[in-house]
Chain A
Amino acid sequence: MKISFLNNLRILLGAAVSAVLLKPSVAAAHLVTTGMGPVYDGIGHLLLTPEDLVPALAVALYAGLRGRVPGRRALFLFPLAWLLGGFSGFSVSSMPAFPLPAISFLLLGILIAADLRVPDNVFTVIAIAVGIMHGFFNGIALKMGPAGLGLLGIMAALFVLLAIVSAFVLSLKPPWTRIVVRVAGSWVAAMGLLMIGWFFRSQV
């Protein structure tokens, strides 16, 4: 009798624990509606915003063209500058009307297309300046949303992006592959010119 009671109790307890464990909660299968969290929101923002993604790729391409030392510097300083710029953007509420990212498109595009051999320190300054500027605009855009964690996500994504792209460009040996990178740079410069064109069109 006692044994059967213990058996029943065990079954009941097992059923209760199973019921608790199996109790359905929110499925969260549709990430578009529930969100993936601020870090992924930041990564998504970078990857889906051509105004940010293209200059980041351009920095990586140019870092690869310039070589190992400037590439390593950019790898660490560019995402850091972006993060600092982002935090400073939190205190600002409005975006400037002129599309300032167009300047980084133009500058980096021309540097890549011409394959200009600027001194390493100059390139480092350019990478930091571009990082701060784009980070600043990200800070303004993200402060009401993913905020600081979003910026951390962007910083991590930038680090990975720079590491992969600049290392790939650095590994390119045949001369014509370098030309392909330069052609891509001319596309970036052309996009920068067109961004300025679109701005002036909106003013007309």
Chain B
Amino acid sequence: MKKHVRYLDLLVCFLALIVYLSWTTPAQAHIQQGQAIGFVTGLEHPWSGLDHVLAMIAVGIWGAQLGNPALWLLPVTFPMVMSLGAIMGLLGIPLPGIEIGIAVSAILLGAMVLGEVKPKLYIAAVMVGFFAVFHGHAHGTELPPGQSGLLYSMGFVIATGVLHGIGILMGTIHRWPAGKLALRGAGAFIAAMGVFFLWQAVA
């Protein structure tokens, strides 16, 4: 048990470090600043929009509510499907209603957390994967000019994974009755924010 706590401490420290690094300004000490800054831009991108942040955290919380194997299957499949969406964005393949798709992802994922819905595993995976395409497309189309594509990609993949990790860590309170209630409250908040994002997207 103590060992588990130690590993959990390590994971929390690692996540905190990633978050901290993603908020630091670039040192710009090296010649290739235009290239190297791509990583920071990529790290910042998923954090820059509350719609992305809430949807990713909802994925993590929902995974924690569902338990194994969804707990690891959702965060493992999400980045790969998201990268397919990003490739569509990179190649200029249009995806209609991206902002609407992202807003709906927050609504539905929030609702799943709110209701502690436990569908079959493949349904959960398909649902999360479907919305991952919208999030990936948004990341893929927004690389600032002059920056390294690879480093930008690495940045937003890692930042997305960290957001999932935060959601999973939040989901660990699911073992207590009060924690369950708090998570359902968080789901309601995410769904409500999703409605707000949707209103913004269609207005």
Q: Which A positions have Cβ atoms within 8 angstroms of B?
A: 50-51, 54, 113, 172-174, 176-177, 179-180, 182-187, 189-191, 193-198, 200-201, 204
Contact = CB atoms under 8 A, between A and B. Distances in A.
Nearest to A114: B76
A180 B12 CA distance: 12
A198 B76 CA distance: 22
B150 A194 contact: yes
B140 interface: yes
26 contacts: A54-B154, A113-B76, A174-B3, A174-B4, A177-B7, A179-B71, A184-B161, A186-B79, A186-B161, A187-B79, A190-B79, A191-B83, A193-B80, A193-B83, A194-B87, A194-B153, A195-B150, A197-B86, A197-B87, A197-B90, A197-B140, A198-B150, A198-B153, A200-B91, A201-B92, A204-B92
A180 B76 CA distance: 9
B195 interface: no
B86 A194 contact: yes
B11 A204 contact: no
Looking at B90, B92, B164, the one whose CB has the most chain A CB atoms below 10 A away is B90
B173 interface: no
Nearest to B153: A194
A186 B77 contact: yes
Nearest to A201: B90
Contacts of A196: 87
Given A200-B90, A204-B92, A195 B80 contact: no
Interface in B1-51: 3-4, 7, 11
Contact of B83 (A172, A197, A200): A197
Contact of A186 (B75, B84, B91): B75
Interface in B60-111: 71-72, 75-80, 82-84, 86-87, 90-92
A197 B72 contact: no
A189 B75 CA distance: 13
Given A50-B150, A179-B72, A183-B72, A190 B91 contact: no
B54 to A, nearest CB: 20
Which of A174, A191, A195, A204 has the most C-beta atoms of chain B within 10 angstroms of its own C-beta?
Answer: A191
Given A186-B79, A193-B87, A197-B86, A50 B151 contact: yes
B157 A183 contact: no
B80 A190 contact: yes
B185 interface: no
Contacts of A185: 76
Contacts of B150: 50-51, 191, 194-195, 198
B158 interface: yes
Contact of B154 (A177, A189, A191): A191
